[in-house]
Structures are given as structure tokens and as C-alpha cells.
Amino acid sequence: MSNDRDTIFAAIRAALAPLPNRADNPEWDDELIVCKPAQAFDSLKAQFADKLAFASSRYYDSLDALAVFLKEENSTFGYCDPALAKHFETLDGITFDTEYDDSKINEYTFGITKASAGIAESGTIMLKDSDTSARLAALAPWIHIAALEESDIIESIPEAIKRFGDDPSIVFATGPSKTADVEGILIEGVHGPGIQIAFVLPE
């Protein structure tokens, strides 16, 4: 039996191993897929915040406002990327671990991880494995807070694609996941967080 088990897991490991040669990214005309804003915005940050709301996400650039929201949601303990901890350690009444502990997966009510980019045209948050300190922290807690610099808010999806690099896994999160398969009733947070927040870090 152990031989069969070893054979199966060896096949799985081989299938998951990185390919020796990656396929080239497809080429396309960037102008064909850009969604122009329906109104004028003062900045990409303002457009991003507007589109986040349409995608059932939340936008914050104030630590005090974020703390108030987390307390309203009874979400006062979670995980925070250690590289981001200095920005969030002053949150009043909010505590977090900076080392992800699988045994606390049901205790973490929020996860704070780095977003690789925010896409203004769609209110999308791009999460690259290479920038994410703990992938489960971005996917398992009910509230995910994606922290990014204002300089990482970009105009369009094609611009985000140019940032892919060689990362093997990239997630585009445009609000919480949704389904209305059952009796046409919309349910959010079916796969992954039920509340998606973008937090723009102070300069």
C-alpha cells in the first residue's frame, strides 16, 4: 500500500513542478480592452475607490476609519504581513499575528497582505504569490485587507498584465466572490473572503 501511495504522491509532485520553459504571454492591442471611465476623476486613486464600491468592495486610506469598521464587524484579531505591521500596529483595539499559524485559521477574522497592484478601470486588486506573505491569509479570513501604495494603483488591466513577470500564481480579486445559482439569491463570499478591502498606505 505504501508503494502505491508513494507512486501517487510522486506523480502529483511531478505534475506540480515548474515547467522547464514557460509559454510566452499572448500579444494583444492594449487599446481594445480598456474600459474608459464614465466620468472624470481627479486621480487614479479616486477612480479606483469608485470602482471598488461598484464591485462590492471597500476603500480606506484612514487607519482610524479602518479600525472603526473592523470593530463594527467584531473583527479584532487577525494576521498581518510582518512587512506591513508597522503601518497597522497602532490600530486601536485591533491585534494580529505576524506569523501565519494554520492552527488559528478559524480565529483569524481578518488578513492583511500586500496587493501587487490596484486596477482603477475595474476596481480589481492583483495579488501575486511573490508579494503575498501568506496566501491563506488573503483567502481564508472573512475580511481581507489588501494594502498597497498609491503608486501601485494603475490605470488598466493590460498595464497589470505587464507586471506579471514570472510569478506562477496571480489572483485578480474584483470584490468578494458571488453566486446566484440557488433560486436567484445573490450570495457573496462563497469562495474566499466575504469582505474585500483595499487600503492605500500613507505616504
d(CA 170, CA 6): 30
- Please tell me whether the overall predicted TM-score, pTM, comes out greater than 0.85 for this model: no
Of the candidates 197, 200, 199, the residue with the CA atom closest to the CA atom of residue 53: 197
Asked if the structure places residue 35 within a domain, the reply is no
Q: What is the model's pLDDT at position 30?
A: 66
Predicted confidence (pLDDT) per residue in 83-95, tens digit? 999 999 999 999 9
Q: What is the model's pLDDT at position 32?
A: 67
Asked if the structure places residue 109 within a domain, the reply is yes
Q: Is the pLDDT of residue 104 over 60?
A: yes
Q: What is the model's pLDDT at position 9?
A: 87
Asked if the structure places residue 11 within a domain, the reply is no
> Which of 36-40, 100-104, 105-109, 150-154 shows the lowest mean pLDDT across its residues?
36-40
d(CA 159, CA 182): 36
Asked if the structure places residue 20 within a domain, the reply is no
Asked if the structure places residue 77 within a domain, the reply is yes
Full residue range of the structural domain in which residue 131 is found: 42-200
Q: Is the pLDDT of residue 119 over 70?
A: yes
Number of domains the chain contains: 1
Q: What is the model's pLDDT at position 150?
A: 95
Q: Where are the beta strands (DSSP E) in 34-139?
A: 58-60, 77-80, 95-97, 110-114, 117-119, 124-128
Q: What is the model's pLDDT at position 168?
A: 79
Q: What percent of the chain has pLDDT over 90?
A: 61
CATH of the domain at 192: 3.40.50.10420
